[in-house]
Amino acid sequence: MGLSASACANTAARYSRRRAFPGRHLIGIATATIFATIASPAASATSATSTADAADTAQTSPRQSFDIAAGPLESALNQYGQQARIMLSYPSALTANRHSAGLHGEYDTQQGLVRLLRGTGLSSVQQTNGSYTLVEDASNVELDDSAVLPTVKVAATGIRAGSYRPPPEANVTRSDIPVIDVPQAINTVPAQVLRDQRPRNLDDALANVSGIVQGNTLAGTQDTLLKRGFGGNRDGSIMHNGMPLVQGRGFNAAADSVEVLKGPSSLLYGIMDPGGVVNVVSKQPLLTPYHAISLLGSTYGHGRNGADGTLDLTGPIGDSGLAYRLVVDQVNEQYWRNFGEHRETLVAPSLAWYGRDTQVVLSYEYRKFLYPFDRGTALDPKTNEPLAIPARERLDEPFNEMDGESHLAQLTVDHQIDANWKAHFGYSYNRETYDAGQLRVQGVNSTTGVLSRSNDATHGALSTDSYAIAYIDGHFTVAGLRNDLQVGVDDEYRRIYRKDLLRQATKYTFNYLHPVYGLERSSTTVSASDSDQTDTLHDASVFFQDSLHLTDKWILVGGARFLSYNQVAGRGRPFQVNTDLNGTKWLPRAGVVYKWTDTVSLYGSYTQSLKPTSTIAPLVRVS
C-alpha cells in the first residue's frame, strides 16, 4: 500500500518545449494532405487557405434553421443541443442567472452557438470528439443597443489548431472538472506536440514530463515508465481512453494526446502503484472530412535505414450524426545496431454516433509487430564498466526478436441526462500474443573475451484484459454550495500467461573481441518447471468523489473506493501456486484546492493506493 500527502501548484500551462530525440535522424519527410471540407457560403472564401491541423478544429457544418426563444440560458442551450445534434457539457452553476437573447435564422453549428452565447459572459470550446464545453469569458459581456458587434467572436480561452497549450480538462480525471480544480498534478502532451515531434513510443512522448523515467523495457519491447519511482512493465498503469491496457506498447499513430495523472490514483483506477497513471487518448471520428497521407524516411547511419507511411481518414456518414475514422500505419526499418529489424502494422478503424443527448464510440486497433529483442551490452567484471566494444555490436544472435500481434476493442457511451447530470459506460477488451527469442549473456571473461550465454526463449505468451466501468456525474447545489459528484462501479479481469519457457545451453563459444554470429540455432528445450507462468487478477469496486465549492476560491474534495480483489500467480508443470491473495479494502481520498488566479491553483491532498504483492516464482528455492 502507498500513502501520499502533497502540496503543489497547478498551472494552466502544463507543457514545455522538449529536447530533440537522440539517435535517429530524419532525412526526409514527404507529406501529402488532402482535405475535403463541406463549407457554408460564408466560410467558402477562407476554405482555400485551411491547413491540415486546422481541419481538426476549425470545422464547418451545414447551415440549418433555428428557432429558440429568449429566456434562461440553460433552457436555450438544451434546445440548441437538440436541434443542432451536438453534445454540450457544462456545470449548472456556470449558466445560473444567465439569460440568452435566443436564436432565429440559419446558421452553421459554430456560428449558431456563438450567436446564442452573445452577451452571456460565456464562450464555447470545441473538443476533439466534436462536443463543446463552456468557459467564462469576460470579453463576451452584454453591450447596449448602440454598440457595434462583430459578426463572429473568437473566444480567447479556446485552444486553437496547432497550439501547444493543453485543453482545460483532461480525460484522465474521468470528469469535466477543469484541471486547475483537481488536487493532483496532471500533465498533458497535446496533439500538436505529438505531430511536431513524432515520438516513436511513450518514452519519447513523455520525455519532457517531470517525474517520468524509463524502467526495464524487457529488451526494448514494452512500455515501462517509472512514475515518481514506481512502476514496471505490464503494471496496469498504462490506459487507453481511461481503460487499462495489457499489451506491451500503448502508443501508435492512432494516438491524439497523452496525459499523466501523478500520485496515488486508486480512487479512480483501482489497484495501482502510487506513482500515477499514463493515459493515451485516441483520435476520434469527426463530422468534418479530413484526409491525410504521411510518408517518413529515417536513418541511423551505417546503412541502417527505414520508412513509415500513415493514412488518416475521417468524416461523416450521411447526415444522421454517424462519423468514421480509419488510421493505417506501416513501419519498416532496420535496427540501429549491427543486426535486427523493426516491422509494425497498425489498422485502427472507429465509428461514432453523435446524437442529441448521446454519444457512442466503437473503436478497434490491430497491431502486428516484430521487435529486436536486445538486452544491450554487458559489464566488464574488472572495471564494472560497459565492455570496450563499439556501441553497435550486439552480444546475442539474429533470432533474438519478438514476433506478435495485439487486438484492442473499446466501446464508450455517454448520455446527457439533463443539464446537470450525465452518465458514462465503457468496456475494453485487450489481447496480445507473442513469441520471443531471448538468448542472453550470463558471464564475461574480459581477459579472453569469451562470453557465457544461455539460449532462452518464450513461446505462446498470451495476455488479456477485460474491463467495464459505469458512472454518473452530477452538478448540484446544497445550502448554496456547488457540488460536483461522481458515483460509479468498475470490474476488471486481467491474465498474463507464458506457455513455454525454453532454457538451453549454447553449443558454440562466442568471443566479443572477434564475434561470429549465426552458429547458434533457436532454443528447442522446454523447461517444465519454468513454463505455464500465470498471473491472474480479478477486482471489482464501487467508488464516489465530490468536489464542494466553498467559495469561488476554495474547493474541498473527498471520496473513497471500496475494492474487492482476488489474485493467483504461479508456474510449473505441475502448476505450483506461489501467490493466492484475496480481500477487500477501503481507499479514501481528501484534498483542498485554493484557486489563486484563473491560471494558478495551490492544493494539498491525502490519498491511498493499493497494489498487492504477487510473485510467479517462489520467493525461496528449496533444493
Q: What CATH code is carried by the domain that includes residue 108?
A: 3.55.50.30
Residue type (1 letter), 272: M
Q: Dmax of the chain from CA atoms?
A: 94
Summarised one tens digit per residue, pLDDT across range 558-569 is 999 999 999 999
What value does the mean pLDDT of the chain take?
A: 85
In a domain, 222, yes or no: yes
The verdict on 169 and 112 lying in the same domain is no
Torsion sign, CA atoms 11, 14, 18, 21? positive
The C-alpha atoms of residue 463 and residue 381 are separated, in whole angstroms, by 37
Which of 89, 175, 80 lies closest to 125 in space, CA to CA?
89
* pLDDT value of position 61: 65
In a domain, 122, yes or no: yes
The verdict on 253 and 329 lying in the same domain is no
* pLDDT value of position 31: 38
In a domain, 149, yes or no: no
Summarised one tens digit per residue, pLDDT across range 84-115 is 888 888 877 788 778 888 888 788 888 888 98
- Characterize 345-378 residue by residue with b for buried, 16 or more Cβ atoms within 10 angstroms of its Cβ, and e for exposed: ebbbbbbbbbbebebbbbbebebebbbbbbbebb
The verdict on 214 and 266 lying in the same domain is yes
User: Is residue 602 scored above 60 in pLDDT?
Assistant: yes
Confidence of residue 65 (pLDDT cuts 50, 70, 90): confident
| Domain final position from 141, 173, 205 | 141
The C-alpha atoms of residue 243 and residue 241 are separated, in whole angstroms, by 6
What percent of the chain has pLDDT above 70? 86
* Cell digits of residue 604: 494539498
User: Is residue 42 scored above 70 in pLDDT?
Assistant: no
Which of 564, 604, 562 lies closest to 581 in space, CA to CA?
564
Spell out the SS3 assignment of 537-591. EEEEEEEEEEEEECCCCEEEEEEEEEEEEEEEEEECCCCEEEEEEEEEEEEEEEE
In a domain, 541, yes or no: yes
The verdict on 407 and 437 lying in the same domain is yes
The verdict on 356 and 465 lying in the same domain is yes
The C-alpha atoms of residue 590 and residue 609 are separated, in whole angstroms, by 13
| Domain final position from 238, 256, 281 | 281
Measuring CA to CA, how many Å separate 348 from each of 314, 317, 366, 612? 12, 17, 6, 34
User: Is residue 50 scored above 50 in pLDDT?
Assistant: no
Summarised one tens digit per residue, pLDDT across range 212-262 is 998 888 888 999 899 988 888 788 899 999 999 999 999 999 999 999 999
In a domain, 355, yes or no: yes
The verdict on 463 and 495 lying in the same domain is yes
| Domain final position from 246, 281, 316 | 281
Residue type (1 letter), 229: G
The C-alpha atoms of residue 160 and residue 125 are separated, in whole angstroms, by 10
CB 179 within 8 A of CB 168: yes
The verdict on 187 and 243 lying in the same domain is yes
The verdict on 350 and 322 lying in the same domain is yes
Burial class (CB in 10 A: 0-12, 13-18, 19+), 229: exposed
Summarised one tens digit per residue, pLDDT across range 170-214 is 899 988 888 999 999 999 999 999 999 999 999 999 998 999 998
In a domain, 111, yes or no: yes
| Domain CATH code at residue 579 | 2.40.170.20
The verdict on 315 and 213 lying in the same domain is no
The C-alpha atoms of residue 414 and residue 136 are separated, in whole angstroms, by 24
Summarised one tens digit per residue, pLDDT across range 345-366 is 999 999 999 998 999 999 999 9
196 SS3 class: helix
Mean pLDDT within 382-394: 95
The verdict on 261 and 135 lying in the same domain is no
CB 456 within 8 A of CB 503: yes
**Range with the largest mean pLDDT of 134-143, 293-302, 575-584:** 575-584
* pLDDT value of position 617: 67
Number of domains in the chain: 3
Domain that holds residue 299: 289-609
Task: Describe the crossing of helices 109-116 and 73-84 by its angle, rounded to 10 degrees.
Answer: 170
Which residues, 6 or more positions from 307, have their beta carbon under 8 angstroms from its beta carbon? 295, 296, 297, 298, 331, 332, 333
Residue type (1 letter), 188: T
In a domain, 109, yes or no: yes
The verdict on 267 and 349 lying in the same domain is no
Summarised one tens digit per residue, pLDDT across range 285-343 is 999 999 999 999 988 878 889 999 999 999 999 988 999 999 999 999 999 999 999 99
The verdict on 249 and 386 lying in the same domain is no
| Residue with grid cell 571473461, as numbered in its chain | 445
Mean pLDDT within 271-277: 91
In a domain, 319, yes or no: yes
Whole-model pTM: value is: 0.77
Least confident segment among 24-38, 152-166, 605-619: 24-38
Query: Long-range contacts of range 359-362, CB-CB < 8 Å, 24 or more positions apart?
Result: 359/87, 359/129, 359/131, 359/412, 359/413, 359/414, 359/415, 360/411, 360/412, 360/413, 360/414, 361/129, 361/284, 361/285, 361/410, 361/411, 361/412, 362/410, 362/411
